Structure 1
Amino acid sequence: MVVLEPNSSLARRFWVALEPLHAVVYFAPEPAAAAKEVGLRGWWMGYFAGRAAPLGPIGPGPVTSMFYGFAPGMVARALPDAWTFAKPEDVLQSRILAVEAALTRLLPPGAELAELDELAVLLERAVAGCRFDGRPLAAAWASAEPPDRPLARLWLATCALREHRGDGHVLAGVSAGLSGLDASLTHIAAGATTRELVQRARGWTDEEWAGSTARLLSRGLLDSAGRLTASGAAVRHDVEEMTDRLATDPLDALGPAAVDRALELAEPLSRAVVDAGGLPIPNPMGAVRP
């Protein structure tokens, strides 16, 4: 029996509360338009360059490793070519400005500046309390220079916290012996997403998909119908439990009262983003409306 630490389930609620605010960057038109304006070619080049920008002019190998769920060939079509069209620092700044514009459009006019600033301060405290051992992507985003505007600061903090959790999720998947594609197949088998969404968004061929299926069958994690076995469900549970457990640094840094206040401020904003069409449900990252 797995005994959850007290903050583990709260860590998942914290992610659910913040993820729509962060994920606007992947679905709103403003970031895609900004990537094109800065010189990047195509949506996926904008995605890989934008998400990796705080790391500098990095190549496809490390990005494939850190992003975990993408086919190597898909990453290599975007990097390092992206850096011949735009400098990482320009990509980063244009991305922050674009997400700020998207959130300004999506959030209700009644969103109080004082409350946005309060939430930004709380989330920056949460980021400052994170440990970044083995979490290169989160460390890079946490090191990005914060803007002096509350909404831009708020998004940058949600991004660092999201990547902190994401890096932990990669660590959990790797510790379970899963490749990025293997992990995606277990998500699908658990009903969290669909093959259509994942294969289109992550670039895996049918042959690679079949190879992952064969590996999971041989380990006894999937049955012949592609469903999780009891062993597969246990592995999936352990990965999610470890992900939550590795994501408790921000909660510990804030303390119970500040966590409650952050949730009180963030959840209505995230619901507003989803309701305004800023985040489709379902989506490849499994984010939901709080």
Structure 2
Amino acid sequence: MSTTDRVQSAERRLWRAYEPIHAICYFHPHFAATMNETGLTGWWNGYFAGRAAPLGPTPSQVVTSLFYGFSPAMVDRAVPKIWTRVSPEAAIEARFDAAETVLAEHADAGSLDDLHRVTDGLERAIDALPFDGRALASAWHSVRRPDSILQRLWLAATILREHRGDGHVIAATANGLTGLEASITHIASGQVSRRIIQENRGWTDEQWQIAHLALRERGILADDDSLTTRGTALRDRIEDLTDQLAAPSVHALNDAAGTIDVLTSLARLLVDRGAVPVPNPIGVPRP
């Protein structure tokens, strides 16, 4: 499957539509401010607490495994310390409160009926999904659905995002990549810079160089740090398998095309108004 065909697949179009809705929690300052109000300061502390909260006070090794691309040392600095300063339940509520505020700021009043209908459909689809091997998605699926439609929408986008993310980890590990190696091949594809990824994932220069050399020895990276033909084929296999594993998300929707259209309209507003910057460290595109 070519890159163009893959971008136009229903699975990928759905991802591009819901990912910015979820990703406001990483980029809009109101999320960090709301987490600070719980007593948990420090952006990365808030990130790990907010994303890992449904797992409960899980050891750092588990969070490192599920988050995949972060250095163990970076996770160790936050987990489990964060749970001495905020409860998982408070971290979840802080995310819900922030999602309500941010989405209310950007969702047009006239679109609320469409968002309500789409959210109902997303929730029905999510309840029909298989969660085998999807620990992070399953954890978020276990969270009680709030009453607010905008909070419900954010939660649905989050579950779908983590469901696809868990599948992406499965695809990458099945193709023999560690979290760091997957990040390096992502950089080699030209979609993000080393500076952004290394700073945001906590890897040392020595760790980076060891993984980089291993990828060269396997014929995945060329001398100029671009992907070789073999490396490009590897990335394509991973992306194709990620889409295949995400296919149930589309198949479970009664109106996939209509759902994508409604979510895309909101997602574009979030990007165009700066709630989610593009480009960004996690590769969220403008739909």
TM superposition score category, shorter chain reference: over 0.9
Residue of structure 1 in register with 2:82 after alignment = 82
Unaligned runs of 5+ in 1: none
Residue of structure 1 in register with 2:230 after alignment = 231
Within 5 Å, give how 1:144-183 maps onto structure 2.
144-183=143-182
C-alpha distance in structure 1 between counterparts of 2:8 and 2:75, whole Å: 32
Q: CA deviation at 1:8?
A: 8.9
Against the structure 1 CA distance between its residues 6 and 274, is the aligned structure 2 distance closer, same or farther, given a 3 Å change threshold?
closer
Q: Does 1:276 align with 2:268?
A: no
C-alpha distance in structure 2 between counterparts of 1:253 and 1:6, whole Å: 20
Against the structure 1 CA distance between its residues 55 and 264, is the aligned structure 2 distance closer, same or farther, given a 3 Å change threshold?
same
Q: Structure 1 runs of 4+ off > 4 angstroms?
A: 5-8
Residue of structure 2 in register with 1:52 after alignment = 52
Within 5 Å, give how 1:72-111 maps onto structure 2.
72-108=72-108, 110-111=109-110
Q: CA deviation at 1:31?
A: 1.0
Q: Is the 8 A contact 1:11 1:247 kept in 2?
A: yes
Could you list the per-position Cα deviations for residues 101-160 of structure 1 after superposition, in whole angstroms to 9, with x for gaps in the alignment? 11112334x343211211211111221121111110000011110011110000000000
Against the structure 1 CA distance between its residues 29 and 67, is the aligned structure 2 distance closer, same or farther, given a 3 Å change threshold?
same
| SS of equivalent residue, structure 1 residue 282 | coil
Could you list the per-position Cα deviations for residues 264-289 of structure 1 after superposition, in whole angstroms to 9, with x for gaps in the alignment? 21111100111111111101111111
Q: Is the 8 A contact 2:6 2:240 kept in 1?
A: no
Greater mean alpha carbon deviation, residues 98-107 or residues 140-149:
98-107
Q: Is the 8 A contact 1:8 1:244 kept in 2?
A: no
Q: Is the 8 A contact 1:189 1:226 kept in 2?
A: yes
C-alpha distance in structure 2 between counterparts of 1:61 and 1:111, whole Å: 45
How many residue pairs align between the two structures? 285
Q: Is the 8 A contact 1:7 1:248 kept in 2?
A: no
Letter in 2 for 1:180: G
Letter in 2 for 1:285: I
Unaligned runs of 5+ in 2: none
C-alpha distance in structure 2 between counterparts of 1:242 and 1:201, whole Å: 26
| SS of equivalent residue, structure 1 residue 172 | helix
RMSD: 1.7
Letter in 2 for 1:169: H
C-alpha distance in structure 2 between counterparts of 1:200 and 1:130, whole Å: 35
Q: Is the 8 A contact 1:8 1:247 kept in 2?
A: no
Residue of structure 1 in register with 2:128 after alignment = 129
Q: Percent identity?
A: 48
Residue of structure 2 in register with 1:287 after alignment = 284
Q: Is the 8 A contact 2:106 2:270 kept in 1?
A: yes
Q: Is the 8 A contact 1:7 1:245 kept in 2?
A: no
Could you list the per-position Cα deviations for residues 72-93 of structure 1 after superposition, in whole angstroms to 9, with x for gaps in the alignment? 1111110000000011011111
| SS of equivalent residue, structure 2 residue 227 | coil
Residue of structure 1 in register with 2:118 after alignment = 119
Residue of structure 2 in register with 1:253 after alignment = 252
Letter in 2 for 1:245: Q
Could you list the per-position Cα deviations for residues 12-66 of structure 1 after superposition, in whole angstroms to 9, with x for gaps in the alignment? 1100011111100101111101111112130000000100001111121000000
C-alpha distance in structure 2 between counterparts of 1:249 and 1:90, whole Å: 32
Against the structure 1 CA distance between its residues 7 and 127, is the aligned structure 2 distance closer, same or farther, given a 3 Å change threshold?
farther
Q: CA deviation at 1:99?
A: 1.4
Letter in 2 for 1:183: A
C-alpha distance in structure 1 between counterparts of 2:64 and 2:57, whole Å: 14
| SS of equivalent residue, structure 2 residue 133 | coil
TM-score by length of 2: 0.96
Letter in 2 for 1:14: L
Residue of structure 1 in register with 2:27 after alignment = 27
